[in-house]
Structure 1
Amino acid sequence: MSWKGHHVLSVHDFTREGIQSLFEAADKCKAAVKDEDGADKSVLDCCKHKVLGLVFYEPSTRTNCSFATAMLRLGGTYINVSENSSIKKGETLQDTMRCIECYSDIMVLRHPEKGSVQAVSSFLHKPLLNAGDGAGEHPTQALLDLYTIMQEQGGKIEGLTITMLGDLKYGRTTHSLAMLLAMYGVRINYVTPAGLGIPDSVKEVVESLGKVISQNEYLDLSEVIAETDVLYVTRVQKERFESLDEYEKVQGSFIVNHETLANAKDTCTIMHPLPRVGEISESVDSYPSAAYFRQMENGMYVRMAIIAKVLGAL
């Protein structure tokens, strides 16, 4: 696959070779930022005079800040558009994005409607990166998650057992990650409260790619924690529910703590896309295998690599 000049809208855009190339670029970005011996410092100036346009119709801390910081660390700059813009005057998404395209070399969009990013991309001539479209996909998150898994598991991915826990119905991070993992020979366990299971459409895509060893669904983490190599936890997404009552029925269904992890492998990597709202006890933060803050940092390196590769700078 070629990254240069292309939109990044879905994990279906990726190949294993393209991912490997991206991760090699992320390693270069990480080494340069950390000022490691032999690091290629030219990486930190490769996007000089380039502008990133950030357009977020939903709240964001990590994704917004990591994209902005990534561009700054590459020597470029960014503009940031939120709902406090002409959006409040009723401007359409199409017109907003075509406006930002005039001022930017590359754009990032987060929007609450599934399929919205894909739809607006057809009106644009400059590269657009999907930062989350409702309950649809979050491809750059999936890439940083896969990068983190490989970093934490010594470069290994084939043969691992990945357990996803929490709201898998609305969790776009898990949708994208499951479909990305479908390129590799892994086992995937889905553990969810009743009614929040992984959509059949996602499971069908995973199955169709033919690489995943197995997909299984459970209601209790204790059934699979002992075999799990990577535990990927997600919050129950209050903003996706139609009523507060429905949300409160399932909120707090799973809490990862010392008791939950009693039978886990010492090497079990614990991940979370964040923010967390009680589903991982802060007491777990001290576990050497608790990787969610390293995962967050990796997001900056992977997004540096995406920006640089799409702009043809790396």
Structure 2
Amino acid sequence: MTGFDRTRALRLAQETYDIEAAAVQGLKARTGPGFADAVERMLTLRGRVVVMGMGKSGHVGRKIAATLASTGTPALFVHPAEASHGDLGMIKAIDLVLAISNGGESEEITVILPVLKRLGVPLVAVTGNATSTLARHADIVLDSGVEKEACPLNLAPTASTTAQLALGDALAVALLDARGFKSEDFARSHPGGALGRKLLTHLGDVMRKDAAVPRVGPDTAFPDLMREMSAKGLGASAIVDETGRPVGVFTDGDLRRLIEKGADLRGMKARDVMHANPRTIRDDALAAEAAQLMEQHRITSVLVVDGNGLLVGAINSNDLMRAKVI
């Protein structure tokens, strides 16, 4: 491209960061009782937060609605233009509308304000114009105004949309905190993601159970111990007492070390080669906890016990990878 000025491009990037950072910082001084009022209204809703916005504000609104929904506040985005052609039916008196418009005069929003009033729907406005039509109709006004846009022409929504987005995030954070929303709640909204798998997958869901768990008694001959390990493919075997409690473990690594030492294994029993007091984990633990235990102690498998300390399962790193926990 001819005429491209690399120095100017870098300078504009730095200026954009400064302008947008200042826009967000400016929100702090203007965030007062109205913000708390909006959070309280949303907390006590029997319905949903219906987010609206046109153009770039609409794109921001979609993100805000998604963030609210994923952090415990039922929310959806309704396009204002579509609302005038039937989608207003999606809004009920038990809902609250969060309308976003920097100038506060978006025709697609202002035209439906009287209808929202007749429905008795509370209206929270996010706008940079406190004297706008939207602000005058709103029950609560959240000031998202900025001194200037980052656009050199001061036309394209840039700093203003950044401020809107930050304000929406602030609402979501305040709401999730007030609801006592925890990481487990977040995971339930994201069961298909990595976080969901880590926080929702329990060992009981992915561990080897019943006949798939390699186990022998302490007096089992070494060749029988090896046959049990080979048949079950865990890379280890539990050694259990007569009650079913694990008293030891023998792994592929232990076998290699014994061979390297030149040990005569033919006459040995399981009790002679096992590691006593093996690492175990409860079956109601998260699979991620098993992964952490393996990493901490540099082991590749762990025995799983129930609340009474009886062996009920086993799991190795390959099992956790297949479950996409690690």
TM-score by structure 2 length?
A: 0.29
Larger helix proportion of the pair: 2
Q: Which structure has the bigger radius of gyration?
A: 2
- Relative contact order higher in (CA < 8 Å, ≥ 6 apart): 1
TM-score (norm 1): 0.30
